[in-house]
Structure 1
């Protein structure tokens, strides 16, 4: 006997199936009456769309599938697609509504038990062998039904989860870009009714550009998971392999501290940069996102080490990086060393280390005398006196303005 077929039914088995088929409506009703809803759903309240009439309709289709095939007398194979599709549709609907998969399976098992009792009730003395044949059919087709449900449910849940993620990403993108009017903003959906803390993140370059595509998504996924764990919610975020933004409910804002930075470093890189800016309401979120991105940029341009940055940490740098009619002339002060990356990086590090030559040397891996020589060369070429507050302020402004222009 093939694995997917059963022998031809005997005349006695076909006659028994036909007698039971005529009682299909009565059997279907018995499946949905006289039992608590939790027998079918496992919930105090059945989900939308799981009315008794619909369950009864599913039962009738399946009973006719089993009994009709038994009455035909041909080789009994796995349920044909038309019969299985009814269960696939039911599993997909329950998955879409977020109900657990045992809803469909328990209904199916209950229907099997009711059908078996009905077959026994109409069986006559001497039909024990025919009853055993139909039991084989019932068990055989059960495998196909359970398989269809178990295949469909996770596929549908995965599809729905992917759709929800994309909808959420589109909502967060519109929110950050300012394309979502405040009156249409579903603050409750994202948990932002009491304001928000907007985070800007920057990930340092990792590996080769030739790395497999899957690698480009690992860090954003890890960072998203770290944010979710840190705040205990699914944080609205828009991330790619270079960084992005996240919007955290204000009530959770105190968690955005060194513990969060440590978690993100473990998930991504020790050199991750994070900026945090508060927004009093949804209408302020786009501006807060732009400010957070600017805080990251000036912190990097000003030579500050990676870590958590706030506007108060870079007030001077932020102010000096704003452009006006003098910006071009200030930026041009560094033209004489623009082609010397070693000098530019030394200047950036020196300013980020608050003019500490030994700290600059340690960070660059140089001897302090080498740092002194480079700073002297920068002064000769640009005319800036890096030993005076005025000269270092001009140099910092020039670096910030050039970085913004570039």
Structure 2
């Protein structure tokens, strides 16, 4: 069929459109981490769509072997905590997106789609139900939706919840940027499984990161440490306290702001509270003072090696030997560069009062540069 030949080269593009439509129209999919939505689901949809086109071109139904992976992917959605209706909804909705892309004989392709869906959907549903029988699924789904409602400020009508929570947001830092979405998704699932043993801690995933609601009677630091343990190294995280359920959305926004500030300033991975970055937070607020501080380093704009030298000197606690080692340069070279910084800016990084001013200027410089 000409339609199949036209659609096959566009399978990845059409699959991405399928998942985007599903995320827009099926609320449960918006609770999945970005690594699943933009990675796993698009890859899965591409493979299923290409299988469908292959069966149309060869005028046959899919074999059991060919359906093994789509069936396994349906079971994964049970582990993700999605309800069965959401898992099944994606198939006709995705088929509609594909059908809209057809320029040729829509009636014939539509009939083939119905036959294909008739083979796939019952088997996916059966695999999903088998997987759900092995999970404490209802409790996991309930906790995920409960967390999403609390973060959105919607009433939950539950009396078995803590009165106050520490909202913790974190980024999983254990994977290099080159890692595939499967590895990231598996790590998210491992984190959630680890925290399932502490049912009073609520967890969900948003935009490539995680959000925890930790009762104030527990320790946010201990819970964050458990996440670090799963990842095998410290994660960058931030927390803010919500004194009531109504304050959870505000605390979430505050924790996210602290996290983004720590990341933008290159702070080492750990759990941050506002008090840990209070000076940096204050400098980050738009004001003439912030601009004036940032301008202190303007003379160094064309000398990135001097910026790097100052940053290393400040972040190592003004330790020349450690800073030189960080930069992989000789200690005398660092001394020379600090002298150049003094000559260009008028501030001596080796003098306490000037050093404090340069440290604040570095923070302002980084923030202004980040904001463009």
Instruction: Quote the Cα distance in structure 1 between the aligned partners of 2:309 and 2:330.
Output: 12
Q: Which residue, 292, 296, 320 being the options, matches 2:255?
A: 292
Structure 2 equivalent of residue 237 of structure 1: 204
Instruction: Quote the Cα distance in structure 1 between the aligned partners of 2:193 and 2:316.
Output: 33
Structure 2 equivalent of residue 225 of structure 1: 193
Structure 2 equivalent of residue 394 of structure 1: 357
Relative to structure 1, is the Cα distance of residues 156 and 169 closer, same or farther in structure 2, using a 3 angstrom cutoff?
Answer: closer
Structure 1 equivalent of residue 346 of structure 2: 383
Instruction: Quote the Cα distance in structure 1 between the aligned partners of 2:352 and 2:131.
Output: 64
Structure 2 equivalent of residue 201 of structure 1: 170
Kindly indicate whether the alpha-carbon contact (under 8 Å) linking 2:144 and 2:202 is maintained by their aligned counterparts in 1.
no
Instruction: Quote the Cα distance in structure 1 between the aligned partners of 2:305 and 2:187.
Output: 30
Kindly indicate whether the alpha-carbon contact (under 8 Å) linking 1:361 and 1:371 is maintained by their aligned counterparts in 2.
yes
Structure 2 equivalent of residue 310 of structure 1: 273
Structure 2 equivalent of residue 17 of structure 1: none
Relative to structure 1, is the Cα distance of residues 320 and 402 closer, same or farther in structure 2, using a 3 angstrom cutoff?
Answer: same
Kindly indicate whether the alpha-carbon contact (under 8 Å) linking 1:172 and 1:238 is maintained by their aligned counterparts in 2.
no
- Farther-moved stretch of structure 1 (154-163 vs 308-317): 154-163
Structure 1 equivalent of residue 153 of structure 2: 180
Secondary structure of the 2:217 match is helix
Relative to structure 1, is the Cα distance of residues 156 and 303 closer, same or farther in structure 2, using a 3 angstrom cutoff?
Answer: closer
Which has the greater radius of gyration?
A: 1
1:126-165 matched pairs, under 5 angstroms: 153-154=129-130, 161=137, 165=141
Q: Which runs of 5+ in 2 are unaligned?
A: 1-82, 84-122
Instruction: Quote the Cα distance in structure 2 between the aligned partners of 1:152 and 1:236.
Output: 22
Structure 1 equivalent of residue 181 of structure 2: 213
Structure 1 equivalent of residue 212 of structure 2: 246
Using structure 2 for the length normalisation, give the TM-score. Answer: 0.54
Instruction: Quote the Cα distance in structure 1 between the aligned partners of 2:147 and 2:361.
Output: 35
- State the shift of 1:401 in Å: 3.1
- State the shift of 1:294 in Å: 3.4
Secondary structure of the 2:166 match is strand
Q: Which runs of 5+ in 1 are unaligned?
A: 1-95, 97-146
- State the shift of 1:280 in Å: 0.8
Relative to structure 1, is the Cα distance of residues 391 and 296 closer, same or farther in structure 2, using a 3 angstrom cutoff?
Answer: farther
Instruction: Quote the Cα distance in structure 2 between the aligned partners of 1:356 and 1:349.
Output: 9
- State the shift of 1:157 in Å: 5.1
Relative to structure 1, is the Cα distance of residues 235 and 175 closer, same or farther in structure 2, using a 3 angstrom cutoff?
Answer: closer
RCO higher in structure (CA 8 A, sep ≥6) = 2
Kindly report the root-mean-square deviation, in angstroms, between the aligned alpha carbons of the 2 structures: 4.0
Instruction: Quote the Cα distance in structure 2 between the aligned partners of 1:225 and 1:341.
Output: 45
